[in-house]
Structure 1
Amino acid sequence: MDENQAITALAALAQPTRLRTFRLLVEREPEGVPAGELARLADVPQNTMSAHLATLSQAGLVRGERQSRSIIYRVDLDRFRSVMLYLLQDCCGGNANLCAPLITDLTPCCTPKEEAQTR
């Protein structure tokens, strides 16, 4: 990822409705959410949501897939991971002691579904 790609992705998330939409999609991975449902959940008109989804799509953070008459949106977790790694690249000048608390905070707080079902 280069600087311009990171800036585009971060700029796309630097707006309340788009950030809320992105977080809604993360919560609903991997199923995704139809565009109309996203508009309802975010309490915005559908045409407004379409514009926000277009911005997130252009930044590579979400992708839409047509299913019958709906478009189902999902987060592009690989792209999001690239943005986060870009921000953390050379974290703390390579000093592991400085980065350890950050890495601990980034550790998932939830048990993955597969692990929870086998317990």
Structure 2
Amino acid sequence: MNTDAALAALAALAHPTRLEAFRLLVQHEPEGLSTGQLVAASGLTQSTFSTHLAVLAKAGMVKSEKRGRQFIQRAEIDALKGLMLFLAKDCCQGRAELCEPLLAELACC
């Protein structure tokens, strides 16, 4: 992931509605959730939520699949991994002890 992609992802996630929707989608991988389920969970109108979903999609954080008559939204797990690696890649600076606690925390979940 490059700096521009990381900034786009961080900007997309820097809103409470979008962050909550993305976290919800991550919890429902790999099956995803319908757009209607996400709208209901958000408590927003369809049009307002669609704007938030478009921001996440433009940043490459979610993807939409058509299944029958529904659109299923899924988290882009590879984009999440890329963002996390981008943020943590240089934290160790050759000293593994700096990142080991972070890796241990992620492994336990």
TM bucket by the smaller chain?
over 0.9
Q: Which has the higher contact order (CA 8 A, sep 6+)?
A: 2
The Cα offsets for residues 83-110 of structure 1, whole Å up to 9 and x where unpaired, read as 110111122312111111111112142x
Q: What TM-score do the two structures reach when normalised by structure 2? A: 0.95
Say if 2:68 is the partner of 1:68: yes
Say if 2:87 is the partner of 1:90: no
**Bigger radius of gyration among the two:** 1
Give the match for residue 107 of structure 1. Answer: 107
Distance 1:108 1:71 in 2: 33
* Other structure's SS at 2:92 match: helix
The Cα offsets for residues 22-66 of structure 1, whole Å up to 9 and x where unpaired, read as 011011111111111100011111111111111000110100011
Paired amino acid for 1:22: F
Give the match for residue 52 of structure 2. Answer: 52
Give the match for residue 79 of structure 2. Answer: 79
Structure 1 range deviating more: 62-71 or 3-12: 62-71
Q: How many equivalent pairs are there?
A: 109
Q: What TM-score do the two structures reach when normalised by structure 1? A: 0.87
RMSD (CA atoms): 1.0
Give the match for residue 25 of structure 1. Answer: 25
Q: Is the 8 A contact 1:26 1:75 kept in 2?
A: yes
Percent identical among aligned pairs is 48
